[in-house]
Amino acid sequence: MFDKKRLQERMNAHAAVSFGRTLKELNARESHIAFSKAIMEEVVPLWTATREKQEGKKKACYFSAEFLMGRALGNNLMNLGINDEAREVLGGMGLDINDIEEAEEDAGLGNGGLGRLAACFLDSGASLGYPLNGYGIRYEYGIFKQSIKDGAQVEEGDNWLEYGDPWSVRRLDEAVEVSFFDGPVLAVPYDTPVIGYGGKTVNTLRLWKAEALKPFGFKEFNDEDYEGSVREKNNAETITKVLYPNDCTDKGKLLRLRQQYFFVSASLQDILAKHLENGFSLESFPDYHAIQLNDTHPAVAVPELMRLLTEVHGMDWDEAFDITRRTLAYTNHTILAEALEQWPVRLYRKLLPGIYGIISKIDRQLQSDLRSKGIRGKAQDRYRILLGGSVKMAWLSIYGTHSTNGVAELHTELLKETELRHWYDIYPERFNNKTNGITQRRWLKMSNPELSALVTELLGTDGWITDLDLLKGLRGYTDDANVLERLNEIKRVKKVQLAEHIRKVEGIEIDPDSIFDIQIKRLHEYKRQLLNAFHILDLYYRIKEGDAENITPRTFIFGAKAAPGYKRAKGIIKYINEIASLVNSDPETKGKLKVVFVTNYRVSYAEKLFPAADISEQISTAGKEASGTGNMKFMLNGAPTIGTLDGANIEIVEESGEENNFIFGLKVDEIEDMKETYDPHVPYLEVPGLKRVVDSLIDGTFNDGGTGAFRELHDSLLKGASWHKPDNYFILADFASYREAQEEVGKVFKDRLSFAGKCLMNISGAGKFSSDRTIREYANEIWNLEN
């Protein structure tokens, strides 16, 4: 596709222009910039051609506070189909493509599944040829860079832009103003190409940066008010400084609210302006634009679109509300009532008084609509957007859009039956399910080329790269000893690669022949990393008591970040690392047990972890995980699930067979039945070994550094707190069942061919979990979009 000589010339030119040195004099980071800029020159014409091709067509706009894109270079080379050419060009110049790829910083613009899902969706939209563009915030520092000191998480600024971003284009010509009560700021878009597989479609991720309208006060500076001269600049840029600032105080909450309104207002202004520039009427806006709200972070789009239509463009309220509702759709990502976003009315009134007025009018309209349905008086309270001093963003999202979807079959049914039952009763036609998915291009083809090659060989085609359902063709090999042996060999290659990386980065030696049991996801109590930790400690005590022969060697690997203000989650990280110190330093556990908490878990680390896993830990409390996408990445790479029947685990088991996974624990209906009568002291006292591990939190076995975090964790399990009952996530209730499932894992793993058969059944059943399938469903059933 590319002229190799021209690519060399462009790299040399960028080395000279960007760094004032020859290519040979550049370090790996600088070489990465020069190479990426050279590739970008070839992408721009394809990008322009896509925009021209999509002109006049309906477009989907994905509004998300997070886009966890990961590294761009390797993914772009793969989707452009020039991996081999790039390797050859770089090799001829004495450069190693692996070094250059490793030099790239992850774009830390997300914290977990929500942001990674958004990234997968953009990849699928472009790969399928849909006009799907993303809109969000260009955070200067992303989430945070995690280090571990004395076993505790320490947050540092994640300056992902320190060496520049060769993949984005600053579009000052399309900047817009966003107004708050204390004045306007400038929203400047940075556009990044989203290259579809095959390079035929290049969509756009538009991220907004906040800047001051007046970045420098010359008069203030001349008056020796040096701080005042840049105050406006600093205040404006704070808006897009950090993803998810700590919101334990009103100051932090106001900043998060600013962020949400900032990117939503800028995006809507931009989309409306382009719509009108193309000569289309306002009335036709829903015919040309579908806007998907990724969770409630962009829910302010409902009143903001109403403001733009009525106050800026003079449209009648009822017509504007009809257009708003037909344009917007909402994805719900949580079953947890406490996680359904709410904002104090006082903050909305302070920061966005005009928007608050519009929300009040929407709430009054809702009351009128409810009366027409026979819902009056106090019966309306459960629907009210404004109630008890709070603005309920989920209710605003449901009422102000035409579609509300869950992200897994169980999740959607639970929404309809429990948390959102009252809304489903009056608007059943708005509710639908869109089970999440992942892009097989990043999570198999790029992350696991060895397995990808085997899959292509066995299927006789690489068509699975764009049609993952073809993996079903692998089921004919589940009894083929030769194929299973090859699968085991590939898995060991990936485990050796991961072991070497962990040795270099973490300084810990791990055994590739042990079971790699991996739990990597956001640190949250309901995800139950604590249950995993208790089981590890139980294994340790059993080894110390002479039971080592019955325990299959295991390496437990954790990767997670805890929100800076989430003290319990940070306490769990400290506890896991205390267990790791105990286990890893004891000579009696050598060759039997190892624990690793990888630092600064992110997309590039995940690309090494998923392919190397033997077991996928998906152990959330049943009914709490909306879907999960890590479970799908493990499955695609051939790791059976040890997990509860929660989120998409249910569908994973349906596709691959329960006999090929390790399911344990209470089910949703069982938890519901026992919720009021459950006493965690029963398993605590009656399950052998459980009291010992739980008490390790308070008996001096481990040191929490004087924070009191371990005592608080212990009390949360046995005493509860003002906001929850004891053992709210049923960790103690599920411990015995989890331990039994883990023992079964150890037994089955010893028969390597039998275990490989389970792995292959998981790979063959992964077709449903492609984000390509998910995006087709969104396009056909919500957005009415054509490719």
The H-assigned helical ranges of 617-698 are 630-636, 649-656, 668-674, 681-686, 690-695
Dig out the tokens for 386 from the structure. Answer: 């404004």
Residue 527 is a catalytic residue = yes
> Tokens 């556990």 correspond to what residue?
589
* Catalytic choice (324, 404, 629, 641): 629
Cβ-in-10-Å burial (0-12, 13-18, 19+) of 411 comes to: buried
Q: CB under 8 Å to 500, separation ≥6 — which residues?
A: none
In the set 14, 297, 522, 528, the catalytic residue is 522
Pairing of strands 145-149, 152-156: antiparallel
Strands 132-137 and 390-392: unpaired
Spatial separation of the C-alpha atoms in residues 772 and 121, rounded to whole Å: 8
* Phi/psi of residue 518, nearest 5 degrees: -120, 130
Catalytic residue among 392, 524, 527, 561: 527
Given the residues 633, 739, 758, 776, select the one marked as catalytic: 633
Residue 462 DSSP label:
S
Catalytic residue among 145, 333, 445, 768: 333
Active site residue 521: yes
How far is 686 from 486, CA to CA, in rounded Å? 45
554-559 sheet: strands from edge to edge: 593-598, 554-559, 515-520, 615-618, 641-643, 662-663
Catalytic site includes residue 522:
yes
Sign of the four-CA dihedral 343, 344, 350, 353: positive
Are residues 116 and 106 in contact, defined by beta-carbon separation less than 8 angstroms? Answer: no
Q: Which residues contact residue 76 at a Cβ distance below 8 angstroms, ignoring those fewer than 6 apart?
A: 39, 43, 167, 193, 195
Report residue 555 CA to chain centroid gap.
Answer: 25
- Cβ(534)–Cβ(573) below 8 Å: no
Strand partners, 537: none
Indicate if 333 belongs to the active site. yes
CA distance 37 to 163: 13
Strand intervals (E) in 715-775: none
CB atoms within 10 A of CB 250: 12
Catalytic annotation, pick one of 116, 491, 521, 592: 521
- Residue-wise burial string across 100-110, b where 16 or more C-beta atoms lie within 10 A, e elsewhere: bbebbbbbbbb
Contacts of 639 (CB under 8 A, 6+ apart): 518, 610, 613, 614, 615, 616, 759, 762
What's the helix, strand, coil split of the chain in %, to 5? 55, 15, 30
Q: What are phi and psi of 135, to 5 degrees?
A: -135, 130
User: Look-up: residue for tokens 């070094």?
Assistant: 99
Tell me which residues are annotated as active site.
333, 521-522, 527, 629, 633
